[in-house]
Amino acid sequence: MMLLTNYPIIMAITIICILLSCGTLWFICHHPIPYKGLYSIGLGIIIGLCSIFLFTTIKHLERQSQLISAPTFISIQSIDDLELALADAASQHKPVLLDVTADWCAPCIAYKKEVFPSPYVAKQLAKYTLLEANVTANTPQDLALMKQLNVIGFPTLLFWDNNGNQATKARVTGFMDASKFSEHLHQQAQLTQ
């Protein structure tokens, strides 16, 4: 069902096929037509062809969406790792996204499985240096990192601009679906240009 809402043309064709089929069926039932059986067969052929078209289109779009690879995040374990990664990204003039996550966090898992791999988000994330701090172990290094970054909830997504300056207003705590997160990334791109 999500595929239909992501591709308006498929939704439009589906609605047209349904309306065409319903209209034809209504016409056959309410008008005295000789050879109703032939019209019913014709309607069946139309519905069948529309179904085949929709099925093949949906399968093609599913294959295309799988071709876009999920973004790869670089794991960081400490404040020193973060500072090195930020310096490297700044030298390349790339913005940074840091995902502070935990294995037990359901919204964090949803980001990894649904939001980051979605085609329009993955395309936007390609411009970023992507970092991940998994603080599940709750080690002293994890606690120091969370304290320095002021992480009080999960997931927390932190952003830095092309020059290595933290974009505090871009911070995200909690879950956003793919379309909202894509819009958030778009707004960040507008601010850093």
Residue 48: pLDDT band (50, 70, 90) is: confident
**Tally of CB atoms within 10 A around 50:** 17
**At residue 146, does pLDDT exceed 90?**
yes
Same domain for 41 and 82: no
Predicted local distance difference test score (pLDDT) of residue 66 = 58
Predicted local distance difference test score (pLDDT) of residue 1 = 43
CA distance 187 to 96: 15
Overall number of domains in the chain: 2
Same domain for 78 and 59: no
Q: Which residue has the higher pLDDT, 30 or 2?
A: 30
Residue 77: pLDDT band (50, 70, 90) is: very high
Residue closest to 167 by CA, chosen among 86, 101, 78? 86
Mean pLDDT in residue range 54-59 = 72
Same domain for 57 and 131: no
1 domain-assigned? no
Global confidence as pTM? 0.66
Same domain for 105 and 84: yes
CA distance 96 to 86: 7
Q: Which are the contacts of 178, defined by CB distance < 8 A and separation ≥ 6?
A: 114, 115, 118, 120, 121
The domain of 34 spans 6-66
**How do beta strands 156-160 and 172-173 pair?**
antiparallel
Provide the mean pLDDT of the chain.
83
**At residue 180, does pLDDT exceed 80?**
yes
CATH code of the domain covering residue 102: 3.40.30.10
Mean pLDDT in residue range 7-36 = 70
